[in-house]
Amino acid sequence: MGYVITIDGPAASGKSSLSRELSKKLSIPWVSTGAFYRGLAYAALQRKIALTDKVALSELALSPAWRVEMTPEKTQVWYENTDVTEKISQEEVGNYASQVSHYPEVRSSLLDHQRQCAFKVEGLIAEGRDCGTVVFPQAEVKIYLTASSENRAHRRAQEQGQDQKAIEAQQQQRDQQDTTRKTAPLQIPKDALVLDTTNLDFNEVVTKVQQFIKTKL
């Protein structure tokens, strides 16, 4: 197993953009752990499994019917050999993902797959909610990214061409669910660099994170 850089933070805080850029600069892969929860929620909806059925959900979490693949641009999700990456990017699926992620049984079923991403690579960037606290508690570098609620909703609304106010309300609900759940809630890992990007441009964020990485690796 190589070194690990974790990036945690609330919805649309820029974790994937930062991961993609660092992945290019460091020549190591990156993974969105949220893609696992989104993929599972999508598969459950396709199979008409209730998002409250934790037993069926944790079985489906281990099913070969769907899988996650790391690519330089994005974390791809395949369902029955169809690429559903675009379909799961909608905020609606994010909300379903947040609901299924609530169950400890589901989380532990997905954990091994997430950890396997760090095997046989020189290094890995893993982003999500509990990467620095639960998935890779021994990670060499931990980052916690945040930004104002308005700023985050603006970013996602522009990406998806949707109404900012509606997105903001959905994200706030999701953040509330993700920070208050009992198992592996979103929290700042110990020793993490906490970066509020509200008033920073992307290059400034990347530079600050690179400087921090240099002090740790």
Q: Which positions touch ligand DC (CB under 6 A)?
A: 11, 32-34, 37-38, 94, 97-98, 101, 128-131, 174, 178
Please report, for residues 9, 15, 58, 217, the alpha-carbon distance to residue 181 in angstroms, rounded to integers and kept in the order given: 15, 21, 17, 32
Q: Within 13 Å, how many C-alpha atoms sit on residue 129's CB side?
A: 26
Q: In this complex, which beta carbon is closest to ligand DC, that of residue 73 or of residue 211?
A: 73
Nearest CB to ligand DC, comparing residues 123 and 128: 128
Report the residue number whose CB is nearest to ligand DC.
34
32 or 123: CB nearest ligand DC = 32
- Beta pairing partners, 126: 6, 31
Nearer to ligand DC among residue 115 and residue 208 (C-beta): 115
Q: Which of 9, 2, 3, 1 is nearest to 131 (CA)?
A: 9
At its nearest, how many Å lie between ligand DC and the CB of residue 124?
Answer: 14
Alpha helices in the chain (DSSP H): 15-26, 34-46, 54-61, 91-100, 104-116, 149-160, 164-180, 202-216
Q: Which residues contact 170 (CB under 8 A, 6 or more apart)?
A: 91, 92, 94, 95
Residue 214 CB, shortest distance to ligand DC, in Å, is 26
Which of residues 17 and 33 has its CB atom nearest to ligand DC in the complex? 33
Amino acid at 80: E
To ligand DC, the closest distance from the beta carbon of 55 in angstroms equals: 19
Rounded to a whole number of angstroms, the minimum distance from the CB of residue 48 to ligand DC is 21
Q: Given the complex with ligand DC, which of 9 and 215 has the nearer CB atom? A: 9
What end-to-end distance do the CA atoms of the chain give, in Å? 15
Q: Sign (positive/negative) of CA torsion 67, 120, 138, 7?
A: negative
Minimal distance, residue 4 CB to ligand DC, in Å: 13
Q: Least separation, in Å, of the C-beta of 159 and ligand DC?
A: 12
Do 200 and 206 contact (CB within 8 A), yes or no?
A: no
Sign of CA dihedral 109, 111, 112, 113: positive
